[in-house]
Chain A
């Protein structure tokens, strides 16, 4: 049951360049999408989110784009820094203001090289 899919298990980007991480979903009930970053031996750290009423949300170097018709979202990191090297998880939630669970993708390991 892969309602949230991250098809690229890994991505390598040069420092200073743009990193683009992709995520697809199948459940039309999802209305809130989040990106988490995870370092080894740590829990997922919230990075940025977007609700289904928007198509773009920006926070510093991080921008998330949502294409509802394609059921696709992406995370852009510009410029990429070595400290961005981590596993990035896309997550989705159906229902706001409730204890709704997060459904996670399998993650994309980003490596930013010097």
Chain B
């Protein structure tokens, strides 16, 4: 069964450094998403992406965040200057966009900011 893959599984970064999280969505999916889950909290929406542009973003997704689809398969989340509070699990998801079809999630990247 096709799946969303994310790399790396764990990223440790010094505060203030840039980090890029990578995702390969399911190949026939057209909509892509990033969510995050801070330890002990709920899964929160960050951004959705369709047709090479952002469709929607949350208040969390400020100027320090950016997303890109650099080629036909990868979808990336960049955090320009990381803060301690960026430590979380980051999940990538994708969907066909067809009505009443679910989003499928990757296994996440654990981001630890020191």
Query: Are the chains A and B members of one assembly?
Result: yes
Q: Which residues of A contact B (CB under 8 A)?
A: 32, 34, 36, 41-46, 49, 51, 89, 91, 96-107
Whether the Cβ atoms of B107 and A106 lie closer than 8 Å is: no
Question: Which residues on B sit within 8 Å (CB–CB) of A107?
Answer: 42
Query: Smallest CB-CB separation from B4: which chain A residue?
Result: A43
In the bound complex, residues from chain A placing their C-beta under 8 Å from that of B102 are 34, 46, 49
B contacts with A: majority SS: strand
For residue B104, CB closer than 8 A to chain A, the reply is yes
Sorting the interface of chain B by its residue count into under 10, 10 to 19, 20 to 34 or 35 or more gives: 20 to 34
- B48–A101 CB distance below 8 A: yes
Contacts of A99 in B (CB 8 A): 31, 33, 48-50, 55-56, 95, 97
Residues of A within 8 A of B104 (CB): 46
A101-B47 Cα distance, complex, nearest whole Å: 8
Q: How many angstroms between the C-alpha atoms of A99 and B35 in the bound complex? A: 13
Let me know if B44 and A104 touch, CB within 8 A.
Answer: yes
Nearest A residue to B89, CB-CB: A43
Contact partner of A98 among B41, B55, B106, CB < 8 A? B55
* Known A44-B91, A101-B33; contact A49-B100, beta-carbon cutoff 8 A: yes
Task: Pull 10 A–B residue pairs with CB atoms less than 8 Å apart, ordered by A.
Answer: A42-B107, A51-B100, A99-B31, A99-B55, A101-B48, A102-B43, A102-B93, A104-B42, A104-B43, A106-B42
Say whether B107 contacts A105, CB under 8 Å: no
A32 CA to B102 CA in the complex, in Å? 9
Q: Which residue of B lies closest to A36 (CB)?
A: B105
